Amino acid sequence: MSAPTYLYVQPNRIYYRRRIPTLSTYKSPLMVSLGTKNKNQALIWSLSLTKEFETVLNSFAFIHDPIPDALVHKFMQRRLKQFVDDLKRQSRMAWFTGRKHSFSECDRSALQHALKTLIKFGPHHPFPVDAIDPEWSPTELSRVMEIFDQEARKLKSPGMMDHLVREFKDATDYAPRSAEHDAQIMQAYLKSMLAAAQPEQEARQPRLELTEECNAPDVSEQPSTVVANEPAPLLTSGVNLITSELTTRLLNDQFEAAKACKEDLDRSTEKDPFGVDFAGVCERSIKHAQVNGTMDNKTANARRSKIKLFCLLTGVQMVTEVEQYHLRIFKRRLAEVHKNFMRSPTHLDFTWSDIQELANASADDDLGRAPKTFNTYLEQVSAILSYAQGIEDTSINGKINTRKLRKTETKRGRSKRAAFKENELKELFKHPVWQGCRNENRRHDAGDVIHKDGLYYVPMIVAYTGGRMEEIAGLTVDSIVKVNGSYGLDIRPHAERRLKNLQSERLVPMHEHLVTQGLIEHRNHMRSKGETLLFPELRPKSEKKKFISALRYNWEKLRSQQLDGNPKGLDGHSLRHSFNQFLKNQKDVKKEVRLDILGHAGEDLNEEIYGDEEGMPFEMKKAAIDLQPRLF
């Protein structure tokens, strides 16, 4: 059931609307204008407002004194008797009919664990990682969580609280009058059920003692004390473990502290062992890779964000804590994370419960990660654990196997994105961007102005070379080179733009249409202005953004305009697919030539490139590219 968002949508405004509990429905609800038409933004704000609303309501919750213990105890006795009677009847019918008893010993044990967790954490929180017994088998864990979810849903179901209040009133002649009273009744209900779920041999003891024991303060709720003989975990200097619920903001502070730590990465681990905190291991792995020149800042930030999310969803902060079941929890919980999580500053303070609330109010299609993306998370976790074990000699659970949890693709590579058909390609380049627009600021309206910039050239270059949009958008003025009287694009990584892999470095001949459309003159003009980038207007405004980010709006709009709404979802990668398909259909084009142009590795050593320093001979690649007809 979706969590309430209290949104009231009007044509020109979205409101937060909520009725005040216990007031007559004839009273007008509280309504607050959220000042936005964006439903996603309104949803985020509504969650924050709900928290504030609950805080105000809680301030009124303690106006009445709590229910006296004697009355709570009386209700528990009645409830306990009812639970026990129900169990006896079930057992009697199981004996008579021969059917399986609904309370097997396995289920009884799972029920006890689930109820104890509900009593400690309440029904409004997901099953906490800390409550999981590492000795449980996957089947046992699944059963405990299933019962926990089932009982939590029952407690939260409409009418359940009213039913318990009526029972309490019948048993005690006392009318509950506050939310605190409701909480006492619900706890008594759960503790009575827990007492009834004890094994039969324990049932011979007076169950009244069990109810009294259950009704005593839960010592587990008190701050835990450290065992005197148990050494504190070794942490990176400056890093402290988070004692409250994890949030990204708290993890950011932890990782920043680890990043700021100045320590020798090459030292005796016997004399001076490394910290076992995830933040420290992650930051040291990044420093180690960057010293060796194998990781840039974007890759480093991607590793940090993935490891932080792993910690946030599993509650784990030390590499020595990780067990196989943590990976299973991560897989299950990541499937509930909104695809836009961390796109808003408010997400920095989201706990796992907040993430679940956002998920409950969202469509299923907006949740989870694609198989390939999920697998990269596992790869990063595996990389951190391998670094801790292999480089820092940290003792890691040897049974961890991330390969068991990898997701398989549900679509063939060719099915993920459709390729442009020839008529669609022709239609795309009939757009005013290439045929003449109103002016520089009205690129989608027909006119007689042709403005040659990144929006004009990047899709053309991708269509003629099969390049990736990002690598083409980030070309430098020095990328255009002359080879044997012809021009080519020397695609290499640089300080502002990396490439996907080693095979992406390549020399690609330029189609003659690009030359006649003034790409060389454009390069010369940019160079005369002192620019280093071929399309400086596409330079990202931050490290987290890509070159194609500046193109996204106009590129999406022109595709929709030319392709009747673009129902097939054709995009820049579709141009690459079209180019690849075109070369595949040319019998005279060798497979090695096609792979080299696209920046793909061969399938085996025999297909690796044995041409000159720049791959297959330039002339062979030039001949293949020139087979393409002009786009317009």
CA 465-468-470 angle, to 5 degrees, is 130
C-alpha–C-alpha distance, residues 596 and 583, integer Å: 12
Encode pLDDT of 44-93 as tens digits. 888 877 777 777 666 555 556 788 888 888 888 888 777 777 777 777 77
C-alpha–C-alpha distance, residues 625 and 489, integer Å: 12
**Residue 117 CB-density burial (10 A; 0-12 exposed, 13-18 middle, 19+ buried):** buried
Handedness of CA 493, 498, 502, 504 (dihedral sign): negative
- Residue 232's SS3 state is coil
- Residue 590's SS3 state is coil
C-alpha–C-alpha distance, residues 381 and 338, integer Å: 20
Per-residue pLDDT at 411: 61
- Residue 122's SS3 state is coil
Per-residue pLDDT at 593: 92
DSSP 171-228: HHS----SHHHHHHHHHHHHHHHHHHTS-HHHHTS-HHHHHHHHHS--GGGSPP---T
- Residue 602's SS3 state is coil
Domains and CATH numbers, the chain: 7-59 (no CATH), 69-220 (no CATH), 248-405 (no CATH), 415-625 (1.10.443.10)
Q: How many CB atoms lie within 10 A of CB 293?
A: 7
pTM of the model: 0.55
C-alpha–C-alpha distance, residues 617 and 626, integer Å: 15
CA 12-17-20 angle, to 5 degrees, is 165
Asked whether the beta carbons of 357 and 322 are under 8 A apart, the reply is: no
Which stretches of the chain drop beneath a pLDDT of 70?
1-5, 19-28, 56-64, 98-106, 199-232, 410-417, 500-503, 601-614
Strand locations in 423-548 (E): 437-439, 442-446, 480-483, 486-491, 506-509
Per-residue pLDDT at 455: 97
Quick one: CA torsion of 465, 466, 471, 477, rounded to 10 degrees?
A: 10
Encode pLDDT of 386-445 as tens digits. 999 999 999 999 889 999 899 987 665 555 568 999 999 999 999 999 999 999 999 999
